Chain A
Amino acid sequence: MHETRPAKITSPITTLNGGHLRTAPVALIVGAIGIGVAIMLSLGSEEGLKRFMFTYLTSFCFVLSISVGCLFFVTIMHLTRAGWSVTVRRVAELYAMCALGLGILFIPILATVISGSDMIYSWNQGGWTMHDLTTAEKAEFVNVANRPPLEQMKYQFLNQNFFTIRVIAYFLAWGGMAWFFLSNSLKQDKSGDKNLTSRMQAFSAPLMILFAVTVVFSSFDMEMSLSALWFSTMFPVYFFAGAFLSALCTILLTGLWLQKTGRVTDEITIDHYHDLGKLMQGFVIFWGYIAFSQFLLIWYANIPEETFWYNLRINQPGWMTLSILLLVGHLFIPFFLLMGRGLRRNRKMLAFSAIFILAMHWVDHYWLIMPQMNPEANLYTLTGMGIVIDLACMVGVIAVYIAMFCMIAGNRSLVPLKDPRLGEALNHEVH
């Protein structure tokens, strides 16, 4: 009864099969409209273009975290010589490759820095406005004796030139890593050379270190430096936890979508979804663990240099609502949504959970970024037309991201064709 499947691709269609030619233009148009609407609406708002730039950064960080998470997925699978994930690895490779394209989407943000504007990053141009501090907190900063001003010390790291160099380095590093894995994997599709797999495994260890360093500092630079005077060494771990979680959701959703549209129907089985679901639940808990660890240490130590960041998000009624929403929606609900074998082997439930988690992950980045735009304003002043701006921008950026994925995927196979561990993956069975 237990037939072992031969290590052969049996699906009739393993590529997008021309679908990218239809989807990409539509997605690009939707993206242009979404972003255009967001810009128009925010120009009419109180904050002007700044309103758009912040919501753009939110959605950008959301899609960036997906690519970064997928890059981690590919690297860790090579590092651990994983057999089960071979059939879903190509999707992750393609998403990881999008990181290079996202470098283009970062140009508007980088432009504000290069032009010397402190529209997004208040540290730029020496404009260290401590606007998210109360008067008492400012006094604390000023009153520490025998120390050069904090701004002066942090300026060694956060300045126009160094920031630009770093950001370019991140995207080159991610793009290079992604291209290394994708190109070798594609080469193997043709030759079936097993040495390519050993080669990728050998490189995955040092590349994992490169990945760790770039992710740590990019999260410092892109998101944490919005509140430039804040301290939290836990922040990169928090960013990573959310990134890998959303990457798992994206891989799962993409797999479901591909199979629903008749592609790679035989290669991705329910057992792969089951394992992705297990990882998702694990990283839901990990995210909660890290989020709480970051909060607990700051709450316990109660040092003004650190607490003001949470003070803004907890003692402002609007942001407080969002904080609780994250606690419930990003931790408790997905935890139970993914609990139990039955739920994790149900494609519809998994799809629902993945979409839910992704939505919450966008809220997570919103929660990280938006309060820094105008700390005087709470969430309620951002609602109304603000919601339309945020949603339009989110739809636009995600549409561009999908277009990017379609263009990179092109006519390439969506599963590795001759991976030496393909048989293991096809016969993968989960208990």
Chain B
Amino acid sequence: MAEENTNSSTDENSKLIGLVAQFDDPDSLVQACDQARQAGYTKTDAFSPFPVHGIDPALGIKRTILPFIVLGIAVGAVFIGLGMQWYTNGGSLGEFSTDESPVFPGYRFKISGKPYFSLPANIPVTFEVIVLSSAFATFFGMWFLNKLPMLSNPLHRISRFKRATNDKFFLMIEQADEQFDRGSTEAQLNQWGAVSIDECRRDLTDNNLPSWLRLFALMGAILLLLPPVAIFRAMGMTSRAPRLHVVPDMDWQDKSKTQTLSPIMMNDRYLFADERVMRAPVDGSVARGQLDADTELYEGIKSDYVPTVSMTTPQGSVRTGLGTQDEAEAAPPVEDVSMYVTEFPKEITVDEALVQRGQIRFNIYCAACHGYAANGDGLVNQRAIALAGIGKAQWTSAKSLHDATVSNAEKNPLGRIFETISKGRGTMGPYGAQIPTADRWAIVAYVKALQETGIKPVLAVSEEDKSGESEASDANATATTPEDKTRPTP
């Protein structure tokens, strides 16, 4: 192939692009490049398997402007990154302006209490945008400056040239160069030590697609537009047609979903008499670690207590933890408080550690409504009462645990407090699922301790008492004042 090319200088089907000289080592390539530059050639290019030091000045190649393109894009990215964040979340100039953007007010996500547009929080994102844009600018800028992608290059028609990626070095002088002359250039290249010289020719034979193929391609392209058009049309339209099921056996699977009727029919009857999918556990079966047979420990009810009323009475429904709001509104049922334990179960050791544990748990779970001092002045309670006051909420006030009805050990024995925490009472929700049993007893101990120490509402505390109190209870006491006014009389 190569021989054929070099011998036929006047081919009808190809055009001479330039001469490609081969060199055997990088040094002679650099020397040849240098001489070509000195001879006045400007449209030259060198090819080597690896970067050769000094080839750029030898060829007279100017430094690339790529860094400046990247710098420009990076500076632009600063504005894009910051602007995007300002537009999406800020939507206004924050402190500088109170006007909201007329186009888009911004999502206005309040994150960690920071301003909508706060520079420190926005710098990491901006930095990432800069890095990404710079990387793209470098990569695609390099493509653009090298006129890539180039799908075919006439140089690849020279078989010798394939070794440019292996062990040979090439210098090309283009025909478009003003100095170029087929004969004298070849002589010069030989003089500069070229091992061999090839002509680089561009194939001029018709390389257009056949017209029928073009027609097919056009039709194909138009057909490809149809699905998006159909989808676009279907958007925003209603339809009575049933949904298409592309993969029916994924849409209808032979399986039973929880809490449904059984799909399995035998002889026109459901598989199970109760028609349900799910099976109740066998009577008397207990899940691992859930044997809560000790009613004193797990329910606060004396182990020798025998219910004297049926399970369907209001007392009974309290007993099973299904207490509802209706119940609170119903007439208070006569309660048999004798069923509750009055001592801590034997598994619970009552000591300082227990009370301290109870304090921590109380402050986490109970104080939100009942307040840290159990005065019934928790923040949730205050807020709900405030909302209820303007008709925006229904709320039954959380009780002060210092109320006589609550603190009275006769009416409210330990077991009953435990049951209240576990299963809720009135509108108070059950906490048995959130708080482990031992922690609930710890809370009971802490509640009793609070009641024993008898922290009074702040208005009843004298000045001397107040000065002796810690800062923490001071903070609570100030919160008590508004609540006292709104607390309903018992």
Contacts and interface: CB of A to CB of B under 8 A. Distances in A.
Nearest to A293: B124
A2 interface: yes
A299 B56 CA distance: 49
B112 A2 contact: no
Given A2-B30, A341-B63, A429-B53, A300 B471 contact: no
Count class of interface residues, chain A:
10 to 19
A300 B54 contact: no
Contact of B124 (A2, A296, A339, A429): A296
Contacts of A235: none
B112 A296 contact: no
A300 B71 CA distance: 30
A339 B67 CA distance: 10
B88 interface: no
Given A296-B120, A300-B120, A1 B34 contact: yes
Given A143-B471, A340-B67, A2 B27 contact: yes
Given A143-B471, A300-B112, A302-B112, A1 B120 contact: no
Interface residues of B, number: 20
B30 A1 contact: yes
A117 B124 CA distance: 43
Nearest to A139: B471
Contacts of A341: 63, 67
A356 interface: no
A300 B53 contact: no
A300 B111 CA distance: 10
A143 B474 CA distance: 14
Contacts of A296: 120-121, 123-124
B382 to A, nearest CB: 23
A342 B471 CA distance: 66
A146 to B, nearest CB: 9
A302 B71 CA distance: 35
B78 to A, nearest CB: 12
A292 interface: yes
A179 interface: no
Contact of A292 (B53, B67, B123): B123
Interface in B422-461: none
B396 interface: no
A2 B113 contact: no
A339 B75 CA distance: 14
B106 to A, nearest CB: 20
Contacts of A339: 71
Interface in B30-88: 30-31, 34, 53-54, 56, 58, 63, 67, 71
A139 B475 CA distance: 13
B94 to A, nearest CB: 16
A295 interface: yes
A429 B53 CA distance: 8
Nearest to B57: A1
Contacts of B27: 2
Contacts of A295: 120
A1 B123 contact: no
Contacts of B31: 1
Interface of A: 1-2, 139, 143, 292, 295-296, 299-300, 302, 339-341, 429, 431
Interface of B: 27, 30-31, 34, 53-54, 56, 58, 63, 67, 71, 112-114, 120-121, 123-124, 471-472
16 contacts: A1-B30, A1-B31, A1-B34, A1-B58, A2-B54, A143-B471, A292-B123, A295-B120, A296-B120, A299-B120, A300-B114, A300-B121, A302-B112, A341-B63, A341-B67, A431-B56
